[in-house]
Amino acid sequence: MKKVTKKEIAWYVIAGVIGVLGLFSLILGIVGEHLPVLASDNWILTSEAAWLSNWSHMGYRFWGLILIGAATLLAVICLTLFAREGDRDQERALRRAQRLGKAKASEE
């Protein structure tokens, strides 16, 4: 069984936090669009127009999708890199065991 390093856990936690923020932003955008109040009383759309639309021209939903995509990409990259590292460690242990087996056979 492979040990999971602290570095690997940290990267997965970072990807998870980014994904949760993206999901929260996406849900906030959807709720803001369908909130059954007057447009002037809708605090979600007001906040979106106040600070988010000034510099990005995208709303909560689009930023939520971007953050979820970034978190997914980060998690897949981490999975690939750490799986490759685990495969290298297994191959290294197998080669070491084969060398020790040959050394024992030559001694006998």
Residues in Cβ contact with 89 at an 8 Å cutoff, skipping those fewer than 6 apart: 2
Q: How many CA atoms lie within 13 A of 54 on its CB side?
A: 5
In this predicted structure, what is the pLDDT of residue 99? 78
Q: Give the residue-averaged pLDDT of 67-90.
A: 88
Length of the chain in terms of residues written: 108
Is the pLDDT at 81 greater than 80? The verdict is yes
Please indicate, yes or no, whether the overall pTM of this predicted structure exceeds 0.85. no
Kindly state the average pLDDT of the residues 10-18.
Answer: 96
pLDDT at 35: 85
Which residues are CB-neighbours of 35 under 8 A, at least 6 positions away? Answer: 42, 44, 45
Per-residue pLDDT, 34: 87
pLDDT at residue 17, as a whole number = 97
